[in-house]
Amino acid sequence: MPDEMALPPDTSAGADEFEGVEPPRRMKSPVLAVLAALIAGYLLYHLRTDLAYWMRGRTAQELGEAHAAVGKLPPPNSFVTLSGAPDRSNAAMLDTRGKDEYRQMLRLLGTDSRLLVLRTFGKIPNQRTLADKFSGRLVAFRDLSFAQSIREWFRTRVVATHFFDAQQLGAVLHSQEADLKDLAGDRVHLRPDSRVALDMTFPDQYRVTMPTEKFPTADSARAALAKAGFDSVEPAGLPVDLPHGDDMFVLVGRPRPEVREGVIKTIQSTSDKSVVAPDPADPAELYVAIPKSVYTEGLPQAQRHLENIGFEGAAPPPLAFHAHVAPSKRDAAIEALDPLVGVQPRTETWERTFAQLGAAKDLELSRVARAKLIEPLVIPDDAQVVVESDAPAQYWYVPVVYVLLVLFLGFNLFALREALPWRAKATASASSTR
């Protein structure tokens, strides 16, 4: 009949009323489990070194002096303590973004720049800072996030000055190339084009400068020196190498400190032949050579211009002589000279290439007070850094996070395992209904 109500199926024969009903999905897609597992694995991979460092314990490995330990350093990620002389004059200052703190990167002398120290200001007591003893985590320089920028900063902004023993330098002068250790213990490779500066001394000899307004001629200057008791008087050249001649103005003076760089650039821009050189004995004093064609009105115009840009006292160099006086007569001879006469021990700086020094026949090593080489500071590829005050105890949280990440990874792998059979079954069921 049309109005007859449909009866429920007969279950008296033992049929299951839930037969054919699909179980609810455990998750929409295994993709979420895969992504979560990958993130957990990534974090575990990057925390592995911190976990290994935490397991080092609280006792630092004593390495002793840095110059002796650099050849047998333990592997990176070790907790070490060592002592050494830091190169404080060439330290790099690092501004930590987002933090009100500064860090200092400095190399240890005698290690060939293969061992550096990274310290944070304010975290180390002054007494410990001055003790030149460092304790912390040893890491490879190349593993620092800012390694390349610091390497470039040292190479372009900092020069390493190496001082040598004159006798050791003399022993290798006739070699084509040579390896020497400087007085700080760093190894230096000398090539034929390496520029070496020699500071020469001349006992009982003096450099005497005499103002031209008092002594207008060389003969009058010589007579005054002879009268005071000096002998063996010889003309002395300028302490710097400058172009000279009838077509050049050669002047000496002192720029005001605040405009020094501007003065140098302005003078150099007057002509491509203009040269500026600091006095080796007094770098605050500059010698300049300017073509006379720049100032057609002569020397007074040049002096006015230089005065206007901050180059004060610009004037032609005084007459200069090298003279000898016996030690017993020295004080009396100096007192007999005019107060405007300058007297100082004769010293000269020779700057030559290593090849030129080897070929020089008039070089007297007994006169060499010190030899030095100035070159860019290069951080080697195998350099390591002691991150000071970075102790294993500070990483107490790492094992806790590590365990949580392992549990999180295991949970997602289990979820992925449960999701995959359902996925396969759902796919098979969809195929059969077609």
**Residue pLDDT, tens place only, 368-425:** 988 998 888 889 999 999 999 888 988 899 999 999 999 988 888 887 777 666 555 5
Mean predicted lDDT score pLDDT of the chain: 85
User: Do residues 185 and 400 make contact, with C-beta atoms less than 8 angstroms apart?
Assistant: no
Q: How deeply is 385 buried, as exposed, middle or buried, from its count of CB atoms within 10 A (0-12, 13-18, 19+)? A: buried
pLDDT at 4 > cutoff 70: no
Region 304-332: mean pLDDT is 93
Token pair in block for residue 181: 């250790």
For residue 24, the Cα-to-chain-centroid distance in whole angstroms is 65
Which amino acid type is present at position 421? P
Span between the terminal Cα atoms of the chain, in Å: 35
* Dihedral, CA of residue 130, residue 135, residue 140 and residue 141, to nearest 10: -20
CA distances, 397 to each of 48, 50, 400, 404 (Å): 13, 10, 5, 11
pLDDT tens, position by position, 37-95: 899 889 999 899 999 899 988 889 999 999 889 888 999 999 999 999 898 888 888 87
Cα Rg for the chain, rounded, in angstroms? 39
Q: How deeply is 229 buried, as exposed, middle or buried, from its count of CB atoms within 10 A (0-12, 13-18, 19+)? A: middle
For residue 324, the Cα-to-chain-centroid distance in whole angstroms is 44
pLDDT at position 57 is 82
**Angle subtended at Cα 310 by Cα 309 and Cα 311, rounded to the nearest 5 degrees:** 100
